[in-house]
Structure formats: C-alpha cells, structure tokens
Amino acid sequence: MTAWENLQYKMLRSDSKIPMLIGINIIVFLLVNIASILETLVFRTHNIDFFSDKYLLLTANLHELPLRFWTPVTYMFMHAGPLHILFNMLMLYWFGQIFEDFLGKKRTLGLYFLGGLAGGALYILCYNTLPFFTHDNAAATSTLVGASASVMAVIVATATQLPNYTISIIFIGPVKLKWLVLFFLILDFLGTAGPNAGGEIAHLGGALIGFVYIKQLQKGNDWIARISGIFKAKPKLKVVSKNSSGKSDGKPRQEEIDLILDKISQSGYDSLSKQEKEVLFRASSNEG
C-alpha cells in the first residue's frame, strides 16, 4: 500500500473519525491559503481572503447571519494561520484517541459538530447581549474562525469521562486530565475580555457541551445516537429481549475495571459487551 493509499484509507475507511477530521481541516487550510498566496503573488489582489472571511467565517452580526446560514458549520474547518491549525489538530489527535479508546469511534464526529455549534452559539449570544461587546457594536465587525470549540468539546468530554486519567507532559511530568482541563478553562475565561474574546468564549461553549454530553451519556441519554437515529430508516420489525441479569448500581470492583481496561487496550472499546460498558460507566461516575 502506497503512502497516498494509506492516507486515503485512514481518512475515508478507518473506523476512527479523527484522521478524517484532521484531513478535512488540513485540506481546507491548504486550498484556501495556497490559492490566496498565488493570487497575491500574481495579481496583487486579496479577493480570496475577502470572500473566505465573508462567507466561510462565522459572523455575530444578526442581520447578516441569516444570509450566511451555513457559516456555523464552515467556520469550524477554517483557521487563522499555521500555528492555529497545528495546535488544534495536535490536541484533537491526542485527546481524540483517548476519547475513542474509551467511548468508541461512533461519537467523535457528532461531538465535534456539537462543540462547534455550541461554541458559535455562545459567541453570538455574548456579542449581542454583554455590554462589553454591545457598547462598541463589536458584533458588526467580528468573526469567529477555527476548530477550537469543537476540539474543546472532545477534550472536556474526555476529561469528564476519565478525570483521573494521567498523561505525561514534557518538562512537567504526569498530570491528571481534570487538572489539565481546569488549567485550559481558566486561561479561556481570563481571555474573554482580551483581544481574542470571541475565540475564548467559543472555547467555553464547546467545553460546556462536552461536559453536559458526558453527564447525560452517563445517565443513559446519548444525544449523538438520537440525532443519528433521526436520519436512519426505521426497521419494520422490532425484536424485544429481556435482560434477566439486572443492573448493579454499586461501585464495580477494581479487578473488574482492570480487566475491562486491558480488553480495551488490546481490542478497543467497541469490543466490549453491553454489560462491560455499563460497568465502565458506573466506574467513571464514581471517580473523584
């Protein structure tokens, strides 16, 4: 298999949605920016930059937003520069793998879009209601760009499900996810009155949906599965089965958890039985 075929497989045929999301972001970034640079070098104009900013980024202007109803989706695949996309894609890759290992590969895409939409919604709400922004009518000229809100949803969802999961950070050492995410959230909040206020607010919106989604999932409410179910054809026949084993609400034994984690590391989350997944959810809901 050639490098190109391997890349195509990871993006289009792999069960993991992380390579596909990263690939789409990189392709969009390269197409827009290479075309923009060529236009500038040859024609000394900036039409591509103008139209991409106007019609692909998310505006907070309530008069213009209905005319660009697609931008709440397109903005989350645009980036302001190489470092912007590099940081976002690295974070999506690192945390996305942990997310998929423990929660499966069918929820990543839905959470990415939920996080982006929530971040965009909070950005629009704040820019049109908070005096700090309405005093200078910031919504008229402000735009939102980047996958940061979507990535924050994945990061916070992962930390909410696995708060005590430990990762090693260079120059710092082992750090639990809950403390790392708390650090991120504090930085975002401190920046809500700064030069990138819209972006920081969007981060918080994505973080909020990631947290709420996992809390609802632990209660048995899978929003992403319900949304996906709307677009699936309903079966004509229904099969009803009864589970005589019942559910245990107590805290699972550590030995039982360790066996499940070993199975995940060897075969992935999707290899777990329904009962094993229930045990894992009960264990995570009891973590401090």
| Model pLDDT, residue 241 | 46
CATH number of this structure's domain 10-230: 1.20.1540.10
What is the SS3 assignment for 85? helix
Residue 108: pLDDT over 80 = yes
The whole-number average pLDDT for the span 188-202 is 96
Question: Residues 45-77: pLDDT tens digits?
Answer: 999 999 999 999 999 999 999 999 999 999 999
Interacting residues of 99 by C-beta distance below 8 A, sequence separation 6+? 107, 108, 111, 154, 157, 158, 161
| Model pLDDT, residue 238 | 53
Which tokens go with 114? 């939920």
Question: Residues 127-175: pLDDT tens digits?
Answer: 999 999 999 999 999 999 999 999 999 999 999 999 999 999 888 899 9
Percent of the chain past pLDDT 70, that is, above it, reads 81
* CB burial string 151-178: b at 16+ within 10 A, e below: bbbbbbbbbbbbbebeeeeeeeeeeebb
- Contact, 115 vs 149, CB < 8 A? yes
Residue 206: pLDDT over 70 = yes
The whole-number average pLDDT for the span 6-22 is 73
What is the SS3 assignment for 175? strand
Would you kindly state where each structural domain of the chain is located, as residue ranges?
10-230, 240-288
The whole-number average pLDDT for the span 199-203 is 97
How far apart are the C-alpha atoms of 285 and 36, rounded to whole Å? 49
DSSP designation for 234: P
